[in-house]
């Protein structure tokens, strides 16, 4: 369960970015670990488990493939 939450949070943070407190429009970048293939497998698993939507999956998949 905890692993699912970490994967879901990582994918969500990767796909949308996090706005930092304090304003100014700054963002926090979340670094992902693992190979591109592993990131795609984790992303697909999150989609299959209903953690992310189809549109989130497609958007994040394209980001991963573009590197």
pLDDT in tens, 11-36: 666 655 544 444 455 443 445 678 99
pLDDT digits (tens, 9 = 90+) for 37-60: 999 999 999 999 999 999 999 999
Whether pTM exceeds 0.75: no
Q: Which residues, 6+ apart, have CB-to-CB distance to 44 below 8 Å?
A: 57
pLDDT of 1 > 60? The answer is no
């Amino acid at each position: 369960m905890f692993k699912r939450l970490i994967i879901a949070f990582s994918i969500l943070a990767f796909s949308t970015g996090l706005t930092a407190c304090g304003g100014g429009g700054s963002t926090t970048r979340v670094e992902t670990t693992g190979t591109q293939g592993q990131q795609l497998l984790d992303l697909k698993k999150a989609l299959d488990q209903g953690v992310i939507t189809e549109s989130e999956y497609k958007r994040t998949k394209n980001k991963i493939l573009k590197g």
